[in-house]
Every structure is written in structure tokens, then in C-alpha cells.
Structure 1
């Protein structure tokens, strides 16, 4: 009887142990499968080519490397995302990852970046579909190199040339002076918010000849929502930033369509007269060699893109330049002395800033260049391999996304000694 109990207990324990072991092995196998799913799905199909891929990790299915990427860029140390690749795989300048839902190659050196950006036989624009849905399929980021050149040539006319720049300089100077006087009477202000309003007002005038406060406020609200969505994961469900951004784009398109329709009606009436053409007029008038004109979709996507740049990047750049100058008295004094020197050389009869004076602002130009380097407002651009490509001995498979990582280049200590330091004088040397 005792023997039977012992045998029974032993058998029961053995069964429990086997069940535990089987469960453990199953969990390990399941975790291994999940962890390697992206590699099995995207790398093994490459055959021998998988062995010449750059070092890196494709991460978990669907998510890939996005959690660590978003976590890094919401922290005080955004460089930590790429630092992990460098510490784990060495400073190869090229890594594989899984970003924005695609197997991707990240390039981080000037040489590899130049290859990816200039070789149009091997690479094409490769922005994620989710981003294209927000920015527009006819914007500069989503079209071919030839189409990009065409659109840039057709739409840049009203903001190019000495006469055009002189006209806008006068308006810009007047509105900046007015804004500064207004801010000085308000006491404490939210600087970035006011700068956004200022730069947005300027770009609205240049592109639409509009100074309408209601239109500007409506556009600002929608652009704020849109840009949150551009930086968020593409989850198109109610409550998520991307879903809200899609609605914001729809509202922006409706606003711009009404502006285009109104301008067309004004021009058709025969009573439309302006002293100068703005961007809207230029895009309505311009023709290709074959006589074809830009469609409403072309015009709206270009307007949406340009005005967004005026709303976001310009305001942020001015804010950071101001912050850096305040924190660096020597740079501030040098920039101030340059401006004072320009004023001293100005003839007594002259009123207002001239294009010649603007071009004399050599040090201030370096302040802006250094600000753009330090803040790196545009984190990356997306390309896509049109065919299998070899770079630095590594394979980039056809169809994979390629991310040119500007931030890594701008913070490379071999290119920029003490890269975290704000130093406009480093631009005394031509790179």
C-alpha cells in the first residue's frame, strides 16, 4: 500500500513536472517565434543575401523598433535610440531595423547618406503610406525626382528674384516690428506660440496674400492636430492622434479648396487685380511645355506643405536661435555687433531693410545654420530601394525602406568637434 502511494505520488509529480517542462518549452518556443518573426518573414526569403545585411535587429512583429524609438525621442536623450545600435553592433554607419511598419536600413554617415539621396537609379521616395495620407500624395516628399524638379520650378517663381524678395522683406520687417512692439506691452508671453503666429502670418501673406485672422486661426488649429499625428504611430482608431490628424487634413483640404475656388471665381469675373502675384496666382497661371496646368490636388498639397513648414519649422528655429544666443553671451554680442554695423553703414535717407543688408548678415546666417544643426528639426527622410544595392559591403534589398538619419550626422564628433556645443563659428570652415 505504501509502495503504491509512493509510486502514485511519484507518477503524479512526474506528470506535473512534465506538464511544467512542456509549458516552459512551449513558452520559450513561442517567445523565440515572436522575437524572430520579422527576421523569418523578411530576411530568410532573401536567401544568401540575408548574410550580407547590415547589423541590427528587426524587433517584434508590427512594432519593430518603434517603442524604443518613441521612448528615446520623448526623453531628454533622443540619441539613446541609435546609441544602442552603435554599442551593440559597432560604428558601422549602416544598420537594419523595423521602422514605421517596414523592414528598414538606417544610414548615419555623410557618405552613405549622399549615396542614398543622390542615386535616383537605385532609390526613390519611400515615405510611409500613413505619412503620405497626412501630407499629401502630390507634396514634394511623395513624388519622383523629375516631378519634384518640375513642381519646384513651377511653384517657386513668386518667392524668387531680387524684386520679389525686396517686396517681402518690407512686409516682413513691418510685421516683425509691429509684433515686437505688441509683445513688449504684454509682459510675459508664450514665446513659441507667438512666433508660430508671426511666421504663419508671414507665409500666409506670401502664398495667399491673406491677412485674415479667422482663416489663420482655423488653419493653425488644424495644423497643430495634423503634426501630432505625423509624429504618432499610425493607429486609425477614434481617440488616437493619427485618426484625429486624418480628420484635420480633411478639414485643411476643405479650407484650401474653398480658397482656390474663390480665387478662380475672382479671376474669372474680370475684376481681379493685384500689384504682385502670390503663390496662388503663380500656380493657377503656370503651364508645362505641353500647356497643361496644375490640378487643384497639386495646388492644395503644395499649399498644405509650404504653410505647414511656415507654421512648424520656422517658429521653432527662431525660438531655439533666441534660446541659444541668450545662453551664449559671446555669440549674442557678435551677432548684435554685426546688426549694429549694418545700421551704422545705412544712408540717413534709407528707410527699411534692403536685400543688400540682408546679405551682409554673415554671422547671423551661421547662427541659423548652427541652430538647425543642433536641433535637427527634420529627423530623417525616407527612401526606398528600387533594386538590390550594395553600400559599404552591405546589402540593401529591393523594396526595403532607407532612412537617412540626419541627427546622427549632425552629432558626429569627427565632423563637428564638441557636437553638443552651440558654436556658430564652426561654420567659418566650409564643409
Structure 2
């Protein structure tokens, strides 16, 4: 009797929780069904899940413990493999797009689809960042600030500096007696490169490199987490460090700062301090973080596939297989019909770029590192967009490709790596990487 009572004490709360979960999900779906009226029936299949939280916890579960593809696989298993799914994620009702043609349409039509990033991203980067300013302001900021990294003539000026930084970096790494975190050291190298490009003669200290690395890591972790501003959590750490930087703590960017303070548009208007700070930080973050992750994965893929060392399309294949840019956010400015389904005004649209990169129909044997797939590639429009599309295409894409190419050139010719934990598990947030940050020895070839 006592044993049965104990079991009941365990089972009853569990059953109550399950039933309560189901009721809350139904109420959440009912709320939006009543709010949208007839348009509700025109939405794609899906599940809005819990009120407020929606599917965010499920997303974080898959991207924390892996594999990330399990998140979208749950939808396809329940509703079939279709173009779009409805859900509620990162605080807003959302449609997840899984078809390249629709991704291309969303990315290139900024009249109907505007940037709409989660609160965690907008709070960290600020209202004036290139990520989220309105179309006209974005066009002005882009035109006034992209001169240092636009065009072959501008990029040629940085080749010698990048080569010197790469050569000295590889030489230093290979002389170390202890293993190093390859991802960490590549981040430090890419930061040196981007600092020189945007800050010119402003000296950089080793402490500044470590501070910026820590700042970028906290911010990247805060990207796709719940915006909970409590001590110890990534979002709180990112906000606190951004506050310190905005107050000028160890923040000297005189060359670019002076340039931006002097810039005037056709109406004679310049930038305020907030805009200048957020532009500079966005450039430093974008120029270091994604380039470093892509470079690390290129080194690992080349190490595991020595037969493709000389392939020219290694970078594109790395961008596809590593899915460094795995998601993008927009918001519908009006009710939009696509393929017989409605995207309601105000709903967020998530472009599931990782799913496109790993789609068997778009990229046969998607798990296989195969740079030759890009020889005379004729894919569906929107099937491969690592740098985005439209007016918000990444302005630093050519610089990133050049920097990665130079690094791989000297690495392939003169070095190899030996990983200490080749079977190390992956962490998928904010960008996929080995948990040990690729602990390895860099060995110079004789």
C-alpha cells in the first residue's frame, strides 16, 4: 500500500504537468486562431507550442546538445517535408522557410520583408547597427562606411599585411611546445587583421585582443539565447561588456572614429556617437568571428581530406558544410501570399539556411566534404547564400574570402595540425565548433 502511494505521488504530478502542457499549447494556438480569423486556415502547418516561450526551448535543446537538424526534422516528421512551418520562437509568431526560392524572395524584397532579429541580438548590437536600421538609413551607412573594404583596389592594400600576420602567426604557433586551441588562436589572428584594416595606425595591445575575444564570445553566445538579464548568463555578460565599451573603457579606434566623425551625407548631416560606436563594433565583430570559425573548419576539412588540398572551391564547401551562417531573420510588413499560404503582417520569418545547406536534393551526399560539387554548379536560386542576398548582403564577403584564402595558402604549403581529440563532440551555439575549441599542435613541414 505504501509503495503504491509513493508511485501515485510521483505519477500524479507528472500526469498533471503533461495535461497542463497540452492545455497551454491549445490555448496558445486558439489565441492566434481567434486573432487572425480566416487567415489562420491559410497558414502553413506547424505548432505555436507554449505561450510566450513557444518552441524556443526546443530550438536551444537541439543547438546545445545536437544535432541542430533535429529541430526542423521534428516539424517535417509531424507535418511532412514542406516549404514552410508555423511556430513561435524567440518571442514572436514565426514562419520557418525551408525552400530556396522563398528564401531568395524574402531576402531580396525589403519592401515586404524587413530585418527582425531577436531581442537578444538587437539589445547587444544596438539600434544603429547595420543589421537592423531601416532600408534608407542602411543604404546611407553602407555607402559612407564600406569604402575601406569595397573593390579590388581597396583589398589589394591589405594583402601584404594579411600575409605578414598569417606567416608570423603560423610560425609562432608551430614553435609552441604545448598544444593550443586552434579556434582561439585563429580568432586572435583575424582580429589583428581586421583591427589594422579599420583602425590603421592605432596600436593594439595583447590585453585588448584578449578582451575583444572574450567580448565577442559572450556576444555570440547571447545571440540565440533567451534575453534573461541575470548575472552569469551570456546575455547579461554581453550587455555589461557592451556598456563598458560604450563608456570608452580601453576603446581607442581613432582612425576609423575620426573618419566617421568627419563623414557627411548630401544634407550635411553626420553620425552621432552612438551610431559611430555601433558601426565600429559591428565591423570588428563581423570581421573577426565568422572568418575565424570558417578558417578553422577549412583547416579541419582539409586535414581530414588531403586529396582535395588544391581545390579552388574549398571555401564555399566549408561555408556550406559548417553552416556558419545557418539562419536569418525578417518580418512581414503586410499580409503576403506565397505558394497558396499566408505570411501575416508582423510575423517573423526565419530562413532555415542550414537546412538548405544539408538538403539531399540540393546538395547530394550533403554530409560529405566535396569541393568538386561547386565545379560548374547550377543550383536553385537561394540554395546557397552564406553572405545573404539583396541590399543587406555582407559587405565584407570579399575581404573574408581573401583572408581565408591567404591563410589556407600558407597553411597547406608549410604546415599541418595534429588534433589531440579528433573525436571531440561539437557545440553548435553560437556557431558549430569542437567543444575543446580544436585543441591541436601546429607542425611545420620539413
1:68–1:81 contact (8 Å) kept in structure 2: yes
**How many Å separate the matches in 1 of 2:18 and 2:173?**
62
Distance of aligned partners of 1:42 and 1:252 in 2 relative to their CA distance in 1, 3 Å threshold: farther
2:120–2:224 contact (8 Å) kept in structure 1: no
Aligned 1:322-361 pairs, distance under 5 A:
322-332=299-309, 334-335=310-311
Q: In the alignment, what sits opposite 2:294? A: 317
| CA apart distance, 1:104 | 0.4
Aligned 1:64-213 pairs, distance under 5 A:
64-187=54-177, 188-209=179-200, 210-213=202-205
1:257–1:296 contact (8 Å) kept in structure 2: no
Report the secondary structure of 1:255's partner residue: coil
Q: In the alignment, what sits opposite 1:421? A: 368
Does residue 378 of the first structure (1) align with residue 325 of the second (2)? yes
TM-score, structure 1 length as denominator? Answer: 0.79
1:331–1:424 contact (8 Å) kept in structure 2: yes
- 1:227-278 Cα offsets, whole Å, 9 max, x none, are 2222321112233221222112212323389536xx3xxxxxxxxxxxxxx5
Report the secondary structure of 1:137's partner residue: coil
Aligned 1:183-262 pairs, distance under 5 A:
183-187=173-177, 188-209=179-200, 210-213=202-205, 214-255=207-248, 258-259=251-252
| CA apart distance, 1:412 | 1.4
2:119–2:227 contact (8 Å) kept in structure 1: no
2:128–2:275 contact (8 Å) kept in structure 1: yes
1:137–1:143 contact (8 Å) kept in structure 2: yes
Structure 1 spans left out of the alignment, 5+ residues: 1-22, 264-277, 336-362
Structure 2 spans left out of the alignment, 5+ residues: 1-12, 379-446
2:245–2:251 contact (8 Å) kept in structure 1: no
Distance of aligned partners of 1:25 and 1:168 in 2 relative to their CA distance in 1, 3 Å threshold: closer
Q: Which deviates more from structure 2 when the two are superposed, residues 169-178 or residues 304-313?
A: 304-313
CA-based RMSD: 2.2
| CA apart distance, 1:208 | 1.1
**How many Å separate the matches in 1 of 2:304 and 2:322?**
15
Residue in structure 2 matching 1:305, options 278, 282, 292: 282
Distance of aligned partners of 1:28 and 1:138 in 2 relative to their CA distance in 1, 3 Å threshold: closer
How many residues align structurally? 363
**How many Å separate the matches in 1 of 2:229 and 2:235?**
6
**How many Å separate the matches in 2 of 1:32 and 1:314?**
43
Distance of aligned partners of 1:140 and 1:43 in 2 relative to their CA distance in 1, 3 Å threshold: farther
TM-score, structure 2 length as denominator? Answer: 0.77
Report the secondary structure of 1:294's partner residue: coil
